Amino acid sequence: MVFVQQVFTRADFILKETLTGLRRGGWMNWAAVSTLVILLFLFGFGTRLSWQLQNAVATLGSQLEVSVYLTPEASGKKLMQKVETLDGVQKVTLQTKKDALSQLQKEMGLKQDLTQTLEGNPLVDSLRVKVATPEQVTTVAEQLKAVPGVAQTRYGGEAANRLIQIDKTVRWIGLGVTGLLGFTAVAVITTTIRLVVLSRRKEIEVMQLVGAAPIWIYMPFLLEGLTLGLVAAMIAWGGLHYTDQFLAQQIQVNVPFMVLEITEEQANLLPWILVGSGVGLGSLGSLLAVSKYLR
């Protein structure tokens, strides 16, 4: 209770000192904030991209369908029965090359008969094989590959594996870049706060001599670092928000089939991660700056 009371009686003092400190920091504040903004922006961007890829992987990986493309000579109808007997196969649907062509024609919006233009149907029969459980997808796909008449198989897991690779790369690069920038940011913040500490060393000395509690002496500096972190997090969040809108628009226009989404929880979590990292790095920087005076 006493502590809470003290916090309130001293709040105006500490806030005033914090503002004075920020003013004394001058352009160094700008250096600190901009370094932090770049760091947090890249960190946020990387995190979001990683989430998007993971979500895509999850979607693809949970697909239970294997597409089987046959050789031009093979007949889907004949193969169907054989495929249906395979372990793990739940259901098989046939798409003949004739159906495939007319669907293609429809998708392309062509009125004329494609068989004439192309001199025959270049497509092949294909089977859509529905697998019972996600774990069986790969085995079924392997078995299908061995069946005579099967040219190739496609299933979501393959694409998922590729995305996992990309995600891994993104994360490693992200870790390296944010690690390096994090170090820089803390160094810049520490220097900034240390300059302010130096400009106030006389007051600090007097405060120590008259018995001010260390926490009251250093609180303004901690708050200062924290403020820098908070400001940087908000700017980075704004930047991320607008680049996200811009990218989503570009994707919609240029590659509409690409689905890169993050869940609502993730979207809500991202600003807190940025604020947390910004405030954390800011406080760490100021702690380092005052650590040698903390005795």
Partner 1 sequence: MDVPSSSRNLRSILSSLTEARPGERAFATKEVSSVLMPQGQTLALSETEKVIAYLHKVTKTYDKQGRSLSIDLDIRQGDFLFITGISGAGKSTLLKMLYGEEKPTSGEVVVDGTRLNKLRGHSLSCLRRRIGVVFQDYKLLPRRTVAENVAFALQAQNFPKAEIRRRLLPTLKIVGLEEKAEHFPEQLSGGEQQRVAIARAIVHTPVLLLADEPTGNLDAGNTWSVLEILRQLNDMGVTIVVTTHDETIVQAFAKRVVTFEQNQLVELDVR
Stretch that binds partner 1, among 61-69, 98-106, 205-213, 233-241 (CB under 8 A): 205-213
CB closer to partner 1 out of 106 and 202: 202
Question: Is 202 a residue that touches partner 1 (CB under 8 A)?
Answer: yes
Question: Is 292 a residue that touches partner 1 (CB under 8 A)?
Answer: no
Question: Is 208 a residue that touches partner 1 (CB under 8 A)?
Answer: yes
Say which residues have a Cβ less than 8 Å from residue 258's Cβ, sequence separation at least 6.
Answer: 251
CB closer to partner 1 out of 122 and 214: 214
Question: Is 15 a residue that touches partner 1 (CB under 8 A)?
Answer: no
What torsion do the CA atoms of 48, 54, 60, 64 make, to the nearest 10 degrees?
-140
Residue where the block lists tokens 């919006």? 109
Pairwise CA distance, residues 16 & 200, whole Å: 14
Question: Is 9 a residue that touches partner 1 (CB under 8 A)?
Answer: yes
Q: Which of 173, 170, 142, 171 is nearest to 158 (CA)?
A: 142
CB closer to partner 1 out of 113 and 203: 203
What is the smallest separation between the CB atom of 24 and partner 1, expressed in angstroms?
Answer: 12
In SS3 terms, 98-114 reads as HHHHHHHHHHHCCCCCH
What torsion do the CA atoms of 53, 56, 58, 62 make, to the nearest 10 degrees?
-150
Member of 1, 4, 108, 209 binding partner 1 (CB under 8 A): 209
Binding site residues, partner 1, CB under 8 A: 6, 9-10, 13, 202-203, 205-216, 294-295
